[in-house]
Structures are given as structure tokens and as C-alpha cells.
Structure 1
């Protein structure tokens, strides 16, 4: 038997659907001490979607604290409680998807020896989670271990804040400039969008910043339009800049995305795809057949460059500089670029070594969201969403 914990969760939408956010917290059931609290914006969504999102966040926090815990989930949403208890059917597609995510979390807890039961509570008994959900609707993200599990389990009333938090580090190392104090305020939000496909993409041809620079094909245009709709839905009317690479496929995708959110795109060529030199336009199949060793070097050696092209190290230097400028600008920015620049940003934030960077996926038309605080800490909200 693990620890006895309580999850309190809520969500809200200003408009239903409208600007939405969730809030959740985890308490020690014996002492009632808060161990973790979280909140996040959801863009445009319904109340019920936000409530399910709060539930999932709370269950994931339980897994971080004690996956074998005995958990009571307390919510003022009769709908979520009854649906998760299996007494009410789930008809709405978005809620069905989220309910499956929640049940996956329940299954993980069960496999670890934990258990979960659901309790409906009146709204006035769920004020803490409700306040956190309003924080999310205000556009702020919170992911904070409030007390160390050991201190709360011992019944200590005044525990020090834990430093094992995934977001806030006890001694943060800034990534983008001078030393600054730890920041708990609103982060800079960056939405990375990969361009739609071209005929080169479909044919698996290398197409870097020094290549043929083709336009989107019909499929790529449809992917750009879908990315624009997804971006508008995610932002929920909140303002954002749009920055694109200088290559045609990114500028065309960026124009569609910018139109969807009422913005004017800007161009930053430092977000361009890698320059593949004399291999620009070559198919991967031909390179695998005729130049396997050189292709392996291009993939695995960050210092390797083709004649007339650039190395991964050179690509990374300019992309990270461009990303730093976006972060320094603050607010929310949509960056429309290419697979390798997106990989570079994620590898930079997650400190992923070059030998495993290719495991990061970024499909054409996909969205990847990151948040960066002034102290250099960062959170990857989601990746490769299409």
C-alpha cells in the first residue's frame, strides 16, 4: 500500500467554448498538506475538456509523487466523475479522447500497485483547484512541487519548497543571457510549426537553404491550412507574432498561419533548413545506395558538411541564436520553419546529445509548443501534434 493522496482538479472556459485553462493539486490525505499544484492554458476549449485536462494533470502528478498511492479524486464536475466511474456514457469525441488518456493514467497507477476512486464535491469545496484553473485561463503555466513528500508525510506544517520540480530548479542556469533571479511569472511561449510538404518532400529529396526552394504542393497547402486552424484554436484569440524562415515553403505556410490568427509574418533566415551543399536535390534512396558512409557522417557527425554546405554545428549555432531572439522578445511567437531547426531547438532545451537527436519527430504541418522562463528554465508542452 502506497501513500494516501487526494487529487483536486478543475477546469474552466470563458465562453464555453472559449479561452480555457485547467488547475489541479495533490494533497497528502492525512495532513492535508499540498504536495503539488499545476495549471495551464488550453487555448479555445469547452469547460468539460478543461476539467478532464485538470484530472489528467493531477493523475500524472500522483505518478511523480508515488505511483503506488491510494488516491481519492475530488471534483465538482458531476459529468467527469460519473463518466470516469463508468456510469455515464461519453459521447463527445474530445472528451472520449481525454477520458482514454485519463484511463491510461489509472492503468499505470494500478500496475504500480495504486488505486483511484472518484468523489463528487460541491463547488465551494473545490476553491483551490478553481483558483488554479483561473490562473490557467489567464495564460499562466504552473507546475510546482510545493512540499517535499518526506516533510508532508512526517506532518511538518512548514516544509521547505522542493527542488525536485521539473520546471523550477534550485540553482537555475540561464540559457539566453545574464544571470537573473528564478522566475515564476508568465513564460515566453513559442509554437514551432513545420511547413507543409512540397514535391521534394514527397520524393524524399534533400532540400536545404541553398537548393531549388520549391513551393508547397496541394497536400502541403492543405497541411498549412490545417496548421493555421490548429494554431488559431490553440491561441484562442490571444495575440502572437509569426516568424518564418526565408524558404518558400515556410513563408507560404507562415502566410496561411498568420492569416488564421490575424498577424503579419516576419522572416528570419536563421530559421532556414540546413544547407546540404552539393547534395541539395539528391534523393535519400540514391545517397543510401551510392554514398552510405558520407550519409552516415552527415547524420552522425555534427561537424561534417558537404562541399558548399554547412554542418549541423553551423546550423545549430544560427538556429539557437534565432530562438534566443524570439525568447528575448517575450509574449507568444509562432515560428514556421523546418524539421532540423525544430530538432535543434528541442535538443537545445532538453540537452539531448547529437547521437539521439534524430529520434525527435516533426511531421509536415505539425505543431510543437515550448515555454521558456526568464531564468532559462523551459517546459515542452507537446511535440509533433497534427
Structure 2
């Protein structure tokens, strides 16, 4: 089992004041530095900066190996104790960031890895502290190393770009969060990866009431909260990818509405592709999960574990997988950056394919309404998941 070490820190000159974060990832066996991250945050508190460093470190580790065992080392007793669940989180900004960090930990657990947190003295965290000072000085650093820091680095050091954790930046500038470098060890001639941002649609009344809404069902529209989520997604996507992206949605109305809001923010027009529709659930469409669980418990278990099982008038997981992956291959082959707006089960199919997860385990991945998930695919077929279920924009 691969073992990685994340060292993370953050700081604020004024608390709150000019803030930045830093993080690095080491090979747990050799101590070699595999990746370095830093970025400014505008005016923020010290604790928000520390959490931002933690998230950056977890995201960098996910790009290296999502299934690795990770030890996170920080000199913030507060963050370590809160992430371990021993201390409560009272501040709203910190609760949001802690949730984002926990979602990254959950994605790693679902892929077969683990995360543990260790407090270290500040004197033992000098490298992450230096990177956080680079962030406070206005630098954004995204370095990946093939053979340790003495080798040639893939370096994306640049002045500050706007990001979800840099609220003082101008709204019309793109965040370079998805413009990342190949994973360590990737061949130099593979070029830039294809980047796909998965966006789950906003809330509908069906979602709120726990009613099933598969392909062929009632095709509900966004409710007012879902419409607000769509607008929040549009702003977040604009920050992440800029205007140079195409938008593809499923053919269902809730996805098309969410996609249209995103396309408008990007200055483009969304196209729909029914291959990304939600799974057809036949006679279960429109029923609540409570009804299904009470009346058809064995059949519900079969739907979750047997890829050949289908409801009358619906489709099996195997049928869903075939159509979704056919669409996915077309998106990957198109290159560039694509914003794909759709549904939980089709996105689980995609993530299972990328991560090599079996059908009966991908249910452990959380994909909330309005969430963002980043995937990068290289020319040789290798892929990485940059982040999963990001909801801090909502």
C-alpha cells in the first residue's frame, strides 16, 4: 500500500488580514517531496487559512494516488482536533471548509485508502510554513515532481488567481484550479489532459421529498432552492474553468436548467446528451425511498448489488453503464475542458470507471445536489480525480 504524508499550514497577517496557505506531499517511505501548493486568500482568519492548506494538501495527494494511506501533519492543534472529531467547530466558514476536507477523506476511504491526522510542533512544519508565506506574498504555486525536488519540476508558479477560497479577487477572472499539471511520473509528451468538471443538478421537490426521479419518470424541474444552487454553480464553475469550456447536460430538465445557468455564465450554449440521463427506474419512478425500502427490500438490495437487475420498464446498471461510458468516451476524446451537468448514478459510473471501483462500493461516494467533482484524463488513458463533491460554493 502506498503511503503519503501531507504537511499543511496557513497564516494570516493580522488575523483576519492578508492570508495564504501552503501544503506539500511527501512519499511516506522515502520522504521525497512529490507536490507543493500555495495560494493567497485575500483577507481571512488564520484558522480559515489553515483549513485551506489542509484541503490543498488533500487534493494534491488525491492527484497522486487516491487509494494511498495518508498521514496529515499540521501544527494547528485546532484543525487536528476538529478533524479528529474531538473538538466542535463553531465558525461557519470553518464548518464549510471542514466539510470539504471530510469529503476528500471520504473519497479516499471509498477508494480503499485512509487518512489520519497528527499534530506536530511548528518547528517541524517549516516547509509548509514557508509555502504559506509564499501564498501571503501573493504567489500561487502548483508544482509536481517526478523524482523528488532535485529533479525537474512541473512548475505553475504565478501571481494570485481568483479561487473559491480567495473571495477578494475580481469575479471575471478564472481560477486555475483545474488547469493543473500532469501527475508525477507522467510522460512529458502526453500534453495537457482533458479536463471534465462534473456538476450534479440543483434541488427539485423530488430530491427534497426523497422521491425517485429516474429516466422516464416525472422529469421534475428545479425548485427555487435548486435555481439558486444553479446560479451558485455557475459562478463557481466560471471561477474554476474560465470561459474556455463547453457545457454538456443530460436531456432531463433539472440538468438542462442547471447547465443553462452555467453556460450563460461562460458565454456559451449548452448541448444535451441523453446518454447522461439518470438510470431508468421503471415502476419505481415517483415513489419515495421509504416506500421502496418498506415494500421491496430484497429488490432494492438487488438494484444496489446486482448489475443485471432492472425494474419493470426500467434499466439495469449494466445498461446504464454502457450508455454513460459511451458518452464519457466521446467527452474525453473531444479534449479541452468540458462541464458535464447530470445526475448522481451516472456520475458514480464515471468515477467507478476512473477509480476502478466495483459497482457495490461506489455508493459510498457522496455527490450532493449542486456539487462539483473534477476529473483529468491523459492521452494514455491514465486519469486522476482532483476533488469530489465540492459544495463550498453553495
The two structures have a TM-score, normalised by structure 2, of 0.63
Q: 1:186 to 1:372 in 2, by over 3 A?
A: same
Aligned mates of 2:229, 2:72 — CA distance in 1: 42
Alignment check: 8 A CA contact 1:196 1:253 kept: yes
Going from structure 1 to structure 2, the CA distance change for 1:66 and 1:301 (only over 3 Å counts) comes to: closer
Partner residue of 1:297 out of 302, 315, 322: 302
| Compared CA separation, residues 247 and 145, structure 1 to 2 (3 A) | same
For residues 246 and 188 of structure 2, the distance between their equivalents in structure 1, rounded to whole angstroms, comes to 26
SS state of the match for residue 380, structure 1? Answer: strand
Q: Does 1:215 align with 2:221?
A: yes
356, 360, 363: which one aligns with 1:358: 363
Report the CA distance shift for 1:58/1:279 in structure 2 as closer, same or farther (over 3 A). Answer: closer
Report the alpha carbon displacement of residue 169 of structure 1 after superposing the two structures with TM. 8.2
Structure 1 residue 190 corresponds to structure 2 residue 191:
no
User: Paired residue for 1:202?
Assistant: 208
Take 2:273 and 2:126, find their aligned partners in 1: how far apart are those partners?
50
Rounded to whole Å, the distance in 2 between the matches of 1:94 and 1:303 is 44
Superposition pairs of residues 266-285 of structure 1, within 5 angstroms: 266-285=271-290
Cα 1:270–1:109 change in 2 (3 A) is same
Instruction: Give the match for residue 332 of structure 1.
Output: 337
CA distance in 1, matches of 2:323, 2:99: 41
Partner of 2:236: 230
How far apart, CA to CA, are the structure 2 residues paired with 1:277 and 1:100?
Answer: 35
1:182–1:375 contact (8 Å) kept in structure 2:
no
| Shift in CA distance, 45/317, structure 1 to aligned 2, threshold 3 Å | farther
The Cα of 1:133 is off from its aligned counterpart by: 4.4
1:116 aligns with 2:124: yes
Deviations 1:250-276 (A, max 9, x none): 101111111122121011110000011
Tell me, which stretches of 5 or more residues in structure 2 are unaligned? 11-19, 62-67, 76-90, 106-115, 153-181
Label 1:354 to 1:48 Cα distance change in 2 as closer, same or farther (>3 A).
Answer: same
In the aligned structure 1, how far is the partner of 2:284 from the partner of 2:70?
51
Deviations 1:278-328 (A, max 9, x none): 221122111111111111111211110112211011111111121111111
Taking the aligned partners of 1:318 and 1:65, their CA distance within structure 2 comes to: 34
Give SS of 1:335's match. strand
Asked if the contact 1:109–1:115 (Cα under 8 Å) also holds between the matched residues in 2, the reply is: no
Taking the aligned partners of 1:367 and 1:36, their CA distance within structure 2 comes to 25
RMSD value, Cα: 4.8
Taking the aligned partners of 2:254 and 2:229, their CA distance within structure 1 comes to: 11
Deviations along 1:220-247, whole A, 9 cap, x unmatched? 1111111112212222x34111000000
1:347-374 alpha-carbon deviations (Å, 9 max, x no partner): 1111111111111111111111111111
Question: Deviations 1:76-123 (Å, cap 9, x if unpaired)?
Answer: xxxxxxxxxxxxxxxx99799879999xx9x93437x99624489999
Q: Secondary structure at the match of 2:309?
A: coil
SS in 2 for 1:108: strand
